[in-house]
Amino acid sequence: LQYPAASSSLPGPQLVPVPISIPEPAPQELEDARRAIGALPIEKLLLEDEDNDTILHIYAAKGLRAHTLAAAERMRALRRLDAKEHRGKTPLLVAVTARQAAIVHDLIQAGADINAVDNKGQSALHLAATYGYAQVLQVILSLAFPLDLEMKDFEGHTPLHCAVLAHNTLLRDQGRQAVTEEQHRELQQQSRELESCIHLLVQTGASIYSRDVKSNKTVLHYTVQDGNISLLRYFLELNAFKSKDFVNNKAHGNTALHMAAALPGDKNQKEIIQLLLEHGADPSIRNLDNDQPIHMAPPGKAGEQVRHLLKKGKVSPAFSSC
Assess if residue 40 is contained within a domain: no
- 163-211: per-residue pLDDT in tens? 999 999 998 887 776 778 888 888 889 999 999 999 999 999 999 999 9
Across the chain, mean pLDDT equals 89
DSSP class of residue 294 equals G
Look at residue 13 in the predicted model and tell me its pLDDT.
Answer: 43
Shared domain check, 291 and 144: no
Look at residue 241 in the predicted model and tell me its pLDDT.
Answer: 63
Look at residue 130 in the predicted model and tell me its pLDDT.
Answer: 98
Look at residue 266 in the predicted model and tell me its pLDDT.
Answer: 75
- 236-246: per-residue pLDDT in tens? 999 976 777 89
**Enclosing domain of residue 306:** 210-317
CB neighbours (10 Å) of residue 28? 9
Among 207, 242, 259, the domain-final residue is 207
Number of structural domains (the chain) is 2
Cβ-contact 263, 269 below 8 angstroms? yes
Reduced 3-state DSSP string for 69-116? HHHHHHHHHCCCCCCCCCCCCCHHHHHHHCCCHHHHHHHHHHCCCCCC
Look at residue 12 in the predicted model and tell me its pLDDT.
Answer: 41
Assess if residue 141 is contained within a domain: yes
pTM of the predicted model as reported, rounded to 2 decimal places: 0.89
Question: Which residues of the chain register pLDDT less than 70?
Answer: 1-19, 177, 241, 314-322
Closest CA to 229 of 159, 162, 279: 279
